[in-house]
A and B are shown apart, each in its own frame.
Chain A
Amino acid sequence: MAEELLLSGNEAIARGAYEAGVRVATAYPGTPSTEILENIVDYKEDIYCQWSPNEKVAMEVAIGAAFGGVRTLVAMKHVGLNVAADPFMTLSYTGVRGGLVIVTADDPSMHSSQNEQDNRHYARFAKVPMLEPSDSQEAKDFVGYALDISEEFDTPVILRVTTRISHAKTVVEPAKREEQPVPEEFEKDPEKFVMVPANARKRHPIVEDRLEKISQYGEEASINQVEKNSHQLGVITSGISYNYVKEVFSGASILKLGLSYPLPKQKIKNFAKQVDKIYVIEELDPFLENQIKAMGIEVIGKDKLPAIYEFNTKIIRDSLLEEQEELEVEPVEDLPPRPPALCPGCPHRGVFYTLNKLGVAVTGDIGCYALGVVPPLSAMDTVVCMGASVGNAFGMELALGDKIKGDIVGVIGDSTFMHSGITGLIDIMYNKGASTIVILDNRITAMTGHQENPVTGKTLMDEETVCIDLAELSTALGVKEENVRTIDPYHLKATNNAIKEELAKDEISIVVAQRSCALLKSVDFKEPYYVDSDKCKDCGQCLDLGCPAIVKEDGKAKINDYLCTGCGVCTQVCSFDAIVREGDNDE
């Protein structure tokens, strides 16, 4: 027996891909899915892997690889599947050749997401089978299992995990890699792979028939487990909820659905006959519950259990058991909150400080810089989804015309611009808009923990590659050269002037605010600053920057030398030259 490992669900999925003979893996980073590809890259000798500019492209590359005949994995967070939904829905019709597993990492409770959608609906929507692991061991094993089902039934398979699977570490027993053969050539079959209407019409009945066959398969498959216990209570569950059920109802009979779509109807009916009462325990939507109720089986579920946020044992106990547990210790109210903040030395701070002072409307986007909404910067008015800021800014211009002219800025990160901001820019160009877009180019995909992207010059597998120049790209799309500016956001005056000048123009402008993320290893911190208390007038201007290194102590501003990166932005907001560093006076 190999040594047991303590792996997160994401690490386990990577291990599972390796063991199952996957040869191609693609993704766009997104919490809680990011570490899947970050761990697959450890196997780059055996698995080609890449960050794609967005999930749709990641899906399309994965589809090509599977059509080519090798085992393939594509991973994304729940909202990523929205981006990739177009190719995904048709992939259901074409089916695959090499196995293809699509990992969707849902985020109940929205620990780091803009919504809480339950992606199990995508399995039903696209009519593809779905597996739901309940711990890391299953997360690993189910990758291989999903690929087997994919190849046996000629279908993509969804592996649906949630934050508590992705980011929880549990014990895993690793195994050896099983190599899969690579076909000699691409075997042409336009009726299967070319979805013109005449072919697609022939494929739809195949999809329906396939679903029925997989449902039959699920009746016997050991992945749908019955744990026979008390006949008084039966619980039907899947995914992470299984663990909470095991703790709360240790004596109950359990039907654990590892293959949770399509449902094994006969198995469910048989289970229902053997128990007096049934709970369906699942996070978020009544996905299993509604289907089971539609079979005419009486169950207790969302009428008692919450349909929002993630579960834990207490929520299940309090919802379903008669006696409510009193909390022995009440939460302490009125404690100071500890909101996340842009890091000390973050280059975005200068831009948001400037936008706040300018008092303009700001359409924002997904990334670290979404923290620009937090006081005292308070410089962001909308955030919808990846890439939306560019289109949102143009739409607001269209709505308000002269009333908002020169008063609206769209902000977007470098990676997000590559992801889906670029098409928004093309739209503004094409439809003759005059928006001002600030690209917050910190040379990395920062929010998810520093992944390479098309502006960084490196691939996931650490190879040198082209480095896309955002300013040149903008001019290539038709933005006038004089309306494309690259500025250093550490210089507040230059930032302010550039944004102000571009806002005054009646044409589309791009301001590239370029400065590396302060946390990049390649960035050297400079000598920290300190506040000269003789000069400090206690005006509080420096505190408006929201820099975690600047604190107020006994009424005076102080700089924490451990946190200060020496970026010097605060020296530019102090009217009394009170922020200095060693050696300043010698100059």
Chain B
Amino acid sequence: MRHAAHRAALLAGPLAFFALFFAYPVAAITDRGLRPDGVWQPGRVAEVLADPGVAQVLWFTLWQAAASTVLTLALALPGAYVFARLDFPGRRLLHAFVTVPFVLPTVVIGAAFLGLVGRGGLLDDLWGMRLDSSVWAILLAHAFFNYAVVVRTVGGLWAQLDPRQEEAARVLGASRFAAFRRVTLPALAPSVAAAGLMVYLFTFTSFGVVQILGSPRQATLEVEIYRQTAQLLDLPTAAVLTLVQFAAVGLLLAAHSWIVRRRESALALVDPARTARRPRGAADRALLGGTLAVIALLLVLPLAVLVERSLSGPDGYGLTHYRALAAEDGGTFAVPPLDAIGNSLSYAAVATLIALAVGGLAAAALTRRAGRFTRGFDALLMLPLGTSAVTVGFGFLIALDEPPLDLRSSWILVPLAQALVGVPFVVRVMLPVLRAVDERLREAAAVLGASPLRAWREVDLPLVRRALLVAAGFAFAVSLGEFGATVFIARADRPTLPVAVARLLGRAGELNYGQAMALSTVLMLTCLLTLLLLERLRPARSTELVA
């Protein structure tokens, strides 16, 4: 019984956060769509659902997300192994680097990808290949964005699996592959499923990539909801589509939790620093080489295009655009880059703190096997990832508009909306690790008289500290990239880097374009430094806490 009360206490915070900043706004905007004048309009629902265009959009959304997920997993799983198990020069830098794409605004990536796969792009010059307006460009861009999701989620756990278990299997006569299949794979399965689900969710709700790289005919549900809400103000249609998206995402989440539920066994987690080793043998070298090649082609090349463009000025290569960034020409258009960086970092910091607090509490509450309600809550926390940002944004606008909660033009709304997307990451990263902590350790602590809090602090925290950092890195990166609902809300002018980039891109003139690229490069470097910093903060290995 004490357990139940304990869990309820832990869940109260996340529940309140979720209800207030997600459920309530989304319900408000959906309600306004379904009951335009306080009257239910069931006819409208049927009308929208019967529209063949909607079926087409749904079908495209489903299959491109599936294809993107398969492609991303295929490209990134070897990478997860390489980063988890192999020690090679520059590993830490690369590990931080692969997360950079994840935070870049899609408008910038769109430009980079068009420079690669569009007409007159690199591929076109070399082999006369053009992929823009084809689904391949979309799939590749999705793999580019989500590579880090797989590497970090799966790799984070893989690094902590005890390699001696697999070695033991080998000693007992299992082939290398059999040992992997019987020992490592079952232990990894939940986190692979979690990563796959994340990628699927992200690509299912893909917006910018599809808009920029797809042909104007290709629309995901997310793009369609945006069009109906933000452009046509057809709230009834948007509400129905939102519900359709909810249903689809709900099904996904249910399937996921069903797969994962029985698979999380207690694992012997060890310090990741001891599991990495120098590459041995041909297989390792091939994997390492392959991973480096994938990173070079998929991640480095598009980013290199950006950097190259930021350096090419009217008279050859140079730092013209960077110098222009530093010059101020007054007016409210120009955003001093330092201010933009500062704004971005501070929003992201606040968002990370919120996400860690909410997500950490939720993960702690969900650790122990629990009733249906708790499992439901686990899935519920993922819903914001599957919800259109414009729905949440417009929901904020009509729901959080009265004192004491008139947050519409308050700066706190930005990190709150960003945290909404960050929380699921924190939970996803923390849960597999927390659940893998051997229950007997906690029991032992309890037997020795530790309170639940103290037991958590003494047993769980030391083991999950790394996961916490990974989670923080994700939450931070998500916020830096300015995903989220706040784009659709008018707010006081504290422009972040992505906003400043978008503004510059929206104006003619070579200097503006060059500065946009320079600022994107700055965003990239800022992100890289932040992530490197987090990598450096590797937890010490001792398990007692100096209070």
Do these two chains really belong together in a complex? no
